[in-house]
Amino acid sequence: MKRFVRMSYLVAAVAGVGFFALSVFVLGVWPGRVLEEETRRMSPEHPLPLTASEQRGRSIYGREGCAYCHTQQIRFLKSDVERFGAPVLAWETRFDYPHLWGTRRIGPDLSREGSIHSADWHYSHLYSPRSVVPDSVMPSYPLFFQGGPDRPTQEARDLLAYLESLGRARELAGPEGEARMRTVSHRMEEMDLTSPVLNANPARSRRQGEYPRLSLGNDPARGEILYRRHCAGCHGQRGEGDGPGAYGLLPRPANLAEHEYSQDRLSFVLWNGVSGTAMPAWRDLPVQDLASLAGFVRQFYAPRSEPELPGQILELGAKVYAGHCAQCHGDEGAGDGSAVRELRMVPASFAGARPSFAVSLRAIRSGVEGTPMAPWTGKLSEAELSAAAYFVRGFYRQ
């Protein structure tokens, strides 16, 4: 009996230590090995390292505690993927040490931030988040600037370089990287997302694809609330492009009171943003809300009477246009000329957005700052300038 009791201590001790060892293996060692193997198989051969500036930006990101409010891990959840893009794979952060994954989303996930916003948007946002996103709770970081969003310090440039690098490794892995991912993970198929869009919010990339055609909302009260919340920071209370956020932006926010927009153009712009500018894509909002916004935007423009033009002026305008403007603005004014591929931003389509005569003439005389549109004063005669300004307005299709 005594011997048996002594044995039971031994059995308990061996079982205890044994189970402890087993759980260390099953919970600690084994998943690590599986992950390592998966990571190795999915990772491209040579993931691109960060540049010196991006490295400095990364430490600023860590130092300022950005990770307390922002995650860098898009989970395998449909809602995550729809809003932020393809789920983050382990190899993407393989060389990140310490990791900046974050655990709380007070602000949005930033793993695919690299292609969402333009540089001027980022600077204005860091300098004063509420100037461009009126109800943001993000702290402002004026310490990165010398008095204004258009005067960033080296630290702001480094931080921006880092933000721009987020998601790049995955993008560069290309189709080959995606194919490798599929050999290991079937979760994307299970989620019915066989070809994930890397970045669900393509404001800056020129990827356009399908966009819903908005029926212009007839709920002006709702449109107004949404406009004040999302747009007035940049476009101003009266739509004149003079909100507090406009100060550091180039090109300036459009003057909505001086342009007539077609339904199609508004649908396109609200869904895709304007690539190469600070104008974000708004596809996170419900389509119904986008329609209310489109309706509200339209009421800023007051129709005004236009002079009858003699045929000669239009002829002169057509000649100037074909000679100097069509290579960018396109034969039909659709912003699809042959030179567009080389441009940083696509010219607006005259078919979808008609500037008032005053704005048109000003753009031709002085160019549009922050865009490839150069001033034509001195290169064209006065008659040619105003003829062209009239002529381009004729492309508009309701």
Under the criterion CB under 6 A, does residue 70 sit at the interface with ligand HEC? yes
Under the criterion CB under 6 A, does residue 168 sit at the interface with ligand HEC? no
* CA neighbor of 73 nearest in space, from 26, 34, 105, 29: 105
Alpha carbon distance 3, 192 (integer Å)? 63
- Contact criterion met (CB below 8 Å) for 42 and 180: yes
Number of chain positions touching ligand HEC (CB under 6 A): 71
User: What is the footprint of ligand HEC within residues 173-192 (CB under 6 A)?
Assistant: none
Q: Looking at beta carbons, which residue is closest to ligand HEC?
A: 107
Question: CB-wise, 71 or 371, nearer to ligand HEC?
Answer: 371
User: What is the footprint of ligand HEC within residues 223-262 (CB under 6 A)?
Assistant: 230-231, 233-235, 245, 249, 251, 253-254, 259, 261
Question: CB-wise, 80 or 113, nearer to ligand HEC?
Answer: 113
Under the criterion CB under 6 A, does residue 69 sit at the interface with ligand HEC? yes
Question: CB-wise, 104 or 187, nearer to ligand HEC?
Answer: 104
User: How many other C-beta atoms lie within 10 A of the C-beta of residue 20?
Assistant: 10
Question: CB-wise, 19 or 68, nearer to ligand HEC?
Answer: 68
Alpha carbon distance 256, 246 (integer Å)? 13
Work out which of 86, 198, 274, 387 binds ligand HEC, going by CB under 6 A: 274
Question: CB-wise, 151 or 229, nearer to ligand HEC?
Answer: 229
CA angle 362, 364, 370 (to 5 degrees): 85
Q: Does a cis peptide bond (omega within 30 degrees of 0) precede residue 175?
A: no
Binding-residue pattern over the window 7 to 26 for ligand HEC, x denoting contact by CB under 6 A: --------------------
Residue 112, Ramachandran bin (φ over 0: left; ψ between -120 and 50: alpha; else beta): alpha
Alpha carbon distance 178, 176 (integer Å)? 5
* CA neighbor of 296 nearest in space, from 211, 226, 375: 226
* CA neighbor of 349 nearest in space, from 289, 267, 287, 252: 267
Question: CB-wise, 42 or 133, nearer to ligand HEC?
Answer: 133
Under the criterion CB under 6 A, does residue 161 sit at the interface with ligand HEC? no
Alpha carbon distance 301, 192 (integer Å)? 43
Least Å distance, CB 77 to ligand HEC, is: 18
Least Å distance, CB 218 to ligand HEC, is: 16
Q: Which stretch binds ligand HEC (CB under 6 A): 35-43, 168-176, 180-188, 267-275?
A: 267-275
Q: Which stretch binds ligand HEC (CB under 6 A): 20-28, 29-37, 138-146, 214-222?
A: 138-146
Least Å distance, CB 13 to ligand HEC, is: 50
Question: CB-wise, 164 or 178, nearer to ligand HEC?
Answer: 164
Question: CB-wise, 177 or 253, nearer to ligand HEC?
Answer: 253
User: What is the footprint of ligand HEC within residues 89-128 (CB under 6 A)?
Assistant: 106-108, 110, 113, 116, 121
Q: Which stretch binds ligand HEC (CB under 6 A): 12-20, 28-36, 172-180, 268-276?
A: 268-276
Question: CB-wise, 43 or 111, nearer to ligand HEC?
Answer: 111
* CA neighbor of 379 nearest in space, from 320, 316, 332: 320
Under the criterion CB under 6 A, does residue 204 sit at the interface with ligand HEC? no
* Tokens 């974000």 sit on residue: 280
Alpha carbon distance 295, 224 (integer Å)? 10
Judge residue 104's burial from the number of C-beta atoms within 10 Å of its C-beta, 0-12 exposed, 13-18 middle, 19 or more buried: exposed
User: What is the footprint of ligand HEC within residues 295-354 (CB under 6 A)?
Assistant: 297, 320, 324-325, 327-329, 339, 343, 345, 347-348, 353
Rounded to a whole number, what is the distance in angstroms from the first to the last CA of the chain?
99
Least Å distance, CB 382 to ligand HEC, is: 13
Question: CB-wise, 181 or 388, nearer to ligand HEC?
Answer: 388
Binding-residue pattern over the window 343 to 382 for ligand HEC, x denoting contact by CB under 6 A: x-x-xx----x-x---xx--xx---x--xxx--x------
Question: CB-wise, 184 or 197, nearer to ligand HEC?
Answer: 197
